[in-house]
Amino acid sequence: MFSSLQGLPVHASAALLGSAVADGAAWVGQILSLALFALLLLGLGVLASRMMGVPFHLPRLAFAGMVGMVLGGVLGVTLYAGSIQAAMELDPDRRAAPGFLAFTYLSMAAAAMLVFVAVELALPQGTRLRPVASARAVVLWSKRMGRYRRIVWILARHGLWGYVTGRRDGEEDASTQRRLARSLARSLEEAGVVFVKLGQVMATRRDLLPPVFVEELGRLHSEVAPVPFDRIRECVEGSLGRPLDEVFTDFSAEPLAAASIAQAHLARLTDGEEVVVKVQRPGVGPVVHRDLDIIRRLARRFQRGTDWGPAIGVVDLAEGFAEALLEELDFEVEAANIAAVAEAAADSPVRIPAVHETYTTRRVLVMERLHGTPLGGADLSGADGGRLARVLLDCLLEQVMLSGIFHADPHPGNILLLDDGGVGLLDYGSVGRLDGRTREALRMMLMALDRTDAVLLTDTLLDVVDDPSGVDEERLRRALGQFMARYLQGGATASMRMFTELTLIVTRFGLSLPPELAAVFRSLATLEGTLVHLCPGFDTVGEARRFAQERMAHALNGENIRDAAMVELAALMPALRRLPRRLDRVTDQLHKGRFTVRVRPFAHPADRALLRAMTQRAVLTALTFATGLMSVGLFNVTEGPDVVWDELSARAQVLDIVAWALLAASGLMILRLLVGMAKAGVARGGTDT
């Protein structure tokens, strides 16, 4: 550089050297300014993490600093000059003034801190940004919305839009109900395999739907176009990991039955045993998940926008259907269900097919072949329908009340009349499970219904429902007494529809039965339709009461009572050992007149934490309001429409700085309140989930 200055005049060389020094000083000043801003931003980041409970994160702070430098710089210059026009006309001397620089840096730092807190609230630490997954989710959402629009269009085209939205006109006579039922059946059939299965399940719900709906939905075809054998072979070989000929000596290319989820083929193992191979339809999984999402959305809409939706618990029905259908997609779950039910009903005359676990996977199920005819298409002219119906009912009640695991979908298609005169139970994709407490409650309910004891039924229901506090027990007892008088006295013919009425009574009082108990009622209602088909006039409720009486008499014999008493006594022994000492201490305190009762309000840590949080928010809100008012008052005193910083007196400048400090403190406290409220909302959402 100095060699390049030798040929220039002295004053020119001095000018160039001065310019270089000035440029260097400007660069040094810029670097020092950035360093000062970085230190200020770092300090404010630590302050924000301490004051607002926001975790300190350097990359987020750097991002907030870059955004805040732009936004805060523009905002600071505009506020300092008084307007955008004045900010554009600021001369270089005022831009270099210490007050201007300090105000601008503070504005940039404050904006950066606001961005830092906002980013933490919008995307808390731990949130992983996955652009590929997000793009895939958008694509799936668009497909789902397209399918959703198609379903809604199908419903509207068949005249069901008024029922979807809850806006329907006129009364519903018999012809209107028939037209509505036929439109619903056609809509479900047009919507696809999952909706066809939903209609088939609805057709078994005689407890919820009028007979005309059961009739029309019952006409939905259960047979669908079979999958070509080449794809079945590919699925079986892919699932078993070996060629078809290594497992089966014979495999029928024609399906025994083809349903919406799977199709069944007759086959013979290498040891000569005849089996039924159930194979899941290729590609059905994504279709089921997509359509179940549509069904859940429609159920929530019906729950909110119709009067019949809450009455029948349409959301719970949709969730139960979805859970059962998802279980049907996993044949390993069905195999485990078959094994559990078979073990629980080992002494029952009802046949349950054995599963070959070696050849069972998620998409292929190999089980014993039972020779017989499905009940729906069987000739019942020579069968003892009453005996078979009683055997089926006793089998299900034993599963429900003794073993706690039961077949949840006993419709006629799942019941097989065997060639030897027996009966078999098929398709265990959907089962229900009951714990001991729920089974005991169900037994007590049946005893109360048998004795028409409204008090016992009320106590039993309040023992099993969720959150019985606040219910008017006397009104509930009277309602249950009227319910039993209507269904169980005066020669009335009882049916499983009474359990639907019982559920509606419970719902009317703001209570809800456990889902497992509701599943029992649904299964019994489904079985009633099957039993009536098998034996017209079959008294399902009367036979259930007989079963309960026999099991209760067996449970109350001398040996069982002695065993139960010994078990309860063994459980009470630790408390009985401590009881004399505690009674002695209580009587001693009473004798000396020193018996006291101490109550500790807010003893639970959660209660104390809630009270502390509410007090802190109240105090912080009051301080925020006070500092905000003080800052506004000081601004009104020190600033005017045409007054700039340089023209203020020293006292006014100090007051103006105090006003800005109070405004900043108020903003910080507002941010603290927002952060606390956001975290509390996230905590509640996590708990609910």
Q: In this structure, are 542 and 673 located in the same domain?
A: no
**71 within some domain:** yes
Among 58-72, 431-445, 550-564, top mean pLDDT goes to 431-445
**pLDDT of amino acid 687:** 39
Closest alpha carbon to 227 in 196, 252, 255, 251: 255
Question: What is the residue range of 473's domain?
Answer: 370-556
- Is the distance from CB of 337 to CB of 429 less than 8 angstroms? yes
Alpha helices in 345-420 (DSSP H): 385-398
- Residue 685 confidence (pLDDT) above 50: no
The lowest-confidence range among 46-55, 268-277, 351-360, 412-421 is 46-55
Q: In this structure, are 546 and 662 located in the same domain?
A: no
More confident residue, 630 or 265: 265
**395 within some domain:** yes
Q: In this structure, are 621 and 541 located in the same domain?
A: no
The last residue of one of the domains, among 98, 122, 146, is 122
**pLDDT of amino acid 265:** 92
Q: Looking at this protein, which amino acid is placed at residue 526? A: T
Number of separate domains in the chain: 3
Give the model's confidence band at 16: pLDDT under 50 very low, under 70 low, under 90 confident, else very high. low
**28 within some domain:** yes
Q: How far is CA 320 from CA 240, 420, 437, in A?
A: 31, 35, 21
Q: In this structure, are 613 and 547 located in the same domain?
A: no
Residue 53, phi-psi category: left (phi > 0), alpha (psi -120 to 50), beta (remainder)? left
- Residue 8 confidence (pLDDT) above 50: no
More confident residue, 264 or 26: 264
Closest alpha carbon to 201 in 328, 77, 55, 27: 328
Per cent of the chain over pLDDT 70 is: 71
Q: How far is CA 687 from CA 143, 316, 499, 617, in A?
A: 31, 21, 33, 22
More confident residue, 46 or 434: 434
The last residue of one of the domains, among 540, 556, 572, is 556
3-state per-residue secondary structure call for 267-330: EEECCCCEEEEEEECCCHHHHHHHHHHHHHHHHHHHHHHCCHHHHHCHHHHHHHHHHHHHHHCC
pLDDT in tens, 587-642: 877 777 777 777 666 666 767 777 777 887 788 788 778 887 887 777 776 666 55
pLDDT in tens, 138-181: 777 777 777 778 888 888 888 877 666 555 554 566 777 888 88
Q: What is the Cα–Cα distance from 444 to 463, expressed in whole angstroms?
A: 11
More confident residue, 428 or 241: 241
Give the model's confidence band at 275: pLDDT under 50 very low, under 70 low, under 90 confident, else very high. very high
**pLDDT of amino acid 278:** 92
Please give the model's pTM, rounded to 2 decimal places.
Answer: 0.58
**591 within some domain:** no
Q: In this structure, are 681 and 535 located in the same domain?
A: no
Q: In this structure, are 661 and 541 located in the same domain?
A: no
**385 within some domain:** yes
Interhelix angle for 10-52 vs 650-688, to 10°?
50
- Residue 679 confidence (pLDDT) above 70: no
Mean per-residue pLDDT of the chain: 75
Q: In this structure, are 504 and 623 located in the same domain?
A: no
**pLDDT of amino acid 1:** 47
Give the model's confidence band at 2: pLDDT under 50 very low, under 70 low, under 90 confident, else very high. very low
Backbone phi, psi, residue 313, to 5°: 65, 55
Question: Which tokens go with 626?
Answer: 């006070």
**pLDDT of amino acid 365:** 92
Q: In this structure, are 530 and 468 located in the same domain?
A: yes
- Residue 529 confidence (pLDDT) above 80: no
- Is the distance from CB of 247 to CB of 240 less than 8 angstroms? yes
Q: Looking at this protein, which amino acid is placed at residue 483? A: F
**pLDDT of amino acid 268:** 92
Residue located via tokens 């019952």: 218
Q: What is the Cα–Cα distance from 426 to 415, expressed in whole angstroms?
A: 6
| Neighbour count for residue 71 (Cβ, 10 Å) | 17
**pLDDT of amino acid 586:** 78
Q: In this structure, are 489 and 633 located in the same domain?
A: no
Q: What is the Cα–Cα distance from 154 to 534, expressed in whole angstroms?
A: 36
Closest alpha carbon to 32 in 24, 112, 61: 24
Give the model's confidence band at 374: pLDDT under 50 very low, under 70 low, under 90 confident, else very high. confident
The last residue of one of the domains, among 104, 122, 140, is 122
Q: In this structure, are 423 and 552 located in the same domain?
A: yes
More confident residue, 446 or 381: 446
**pLDDT of amino acid 279:** 92
Q: In this structure, are 528 and 625 located in the same domain?
A: no
- Residue 492 confidence (pLDDT) above 70: no
Q: In this structure, are 534 and 681 located in the same domain?
A: no
- Is the distance from CB of 276 to CB of 289 less than 8 angstroms? no
Number of alpha carbons in the 13 Å side-chain half-sphere of residue 537: 1
Question: Which tokens go with 368?
Answer: 């014993």
**249 within some domain:** no
CA angle 530, 402, 481 (to 5 degrees): 70
**Cβ within 8 Å of residue 620, ≥6 positions away:** 669, 672, 673
Closest alpha carbon to 188 in 177, 198, 174: 198
- Residue 495 confidence (pLDDT) above 70: no
